[in-house]
Amino acid sequence: MNTDRFLVKSYGDNIDGVKAGLSKLLELLGSYSSATIVVPTIGQVKNTMLTTVLSEQLSKKLIKHRVITLEDGKTISLCGQSTLKNFNNSDIYLDLWGSASSIKKLEDLTYAKAIILTTWTPKDSADWESSNNVTVIYNDGKG
């Protein structure tokens, strides 16, 4: 199966990078039925930019229940890098502040139709970029 790969090259807590990743996820969700947002650690999500970018109501619901169903029946899940193995059936994955380890875990998912990576440091994606056909959708130019 072909997997589309998208890269948001941003440095640190760049809110525009997070917005670019989430926008791409929502755009792709128009063609697919499920998406998972992967974060480094679930326990620390409450105070991150993710909650700033999503509406307060939606982010609270997603953090509390880990899965939300939208009006059209499509789902968005939230998981930490350590629990990604339990979320292996989504069509789209957004890896927020991903690492080489989380990228490898996502590449090992055989049914992923699209992977969106938002880096913490641009060098985190260098190997992934060089070994895959990756489309850069945002670059803050800081790396």
Residue among 114, 136, 131 at smallest CA distance from 4: 114
Other CB atoms within 10 Å distance of the CB of residue 102 = 22
Please give the average per-residue pLDDT across 96-113, as a whole number: 90
Give the helix/strand (H/E) hosting 131.
Answer: helix 126-131
The strands making up 67-69's β-sheet, listed across from edge to edge, are: 67-69, 75-80, 34-39, 92-98, 114-119, 4-9, 134-139
Specify the CATH number of the domain 4-139: 3.40.50.300
- Residue-averaged pLDDT of the chain: 87
Q: Partners of 75 in the beta sheet?
A: 34, 69
Query: What are the domain boundaries of the chain?
Result: 4-139
Please give the average per-residue pLDDT across 13-36, as a whole number: 91
Pick from 21-30, 38-47, 128-137: least confident? 38-47
Q: What percent of the chain has pLDDT over 70?
A: 90
Give the CA distances from residue 59 to residues 27, 48, 77, 113, in Å, rounded to whole numbers and listed in that order: 18, 11, 11, 24
Q: How many angstroms separate the CA atoms of 65 and 121, rounded? A: 29
Q: How many angstroms separate the CA atoms of 29 and 13, rounded? A: 24
pLDDT, position 51: 63
Residue among 81, 71, 74 at smallest CA distance from 37: 81
3-class secondary structure, 32:
coil
Q: How many angstroms separate the CA atoms of 140 and 40, rounded? A: 21
Residue among 84, 143, 106 at smallest CA distance from 6: 106
- Which pLDDT band holds residue 56 (cuts at 50, 70, 90)? confident
Please give the average per-residue pLDDT across 65-82, as a whole number: 89
Please tell me the pTM assigned to this model: 0.90
- Which pLDDT band holds residue 91 (cuts at 50, 70, 90)? very high
pLDDT, position 29: 93
pLDDT, position 138: 94
47 pLDDT exceeds 70? no
pLDDT, position 68: 86
* Per-residue pLDDT tens over the stretch 112-132: 999 999 988 888 889 999 999
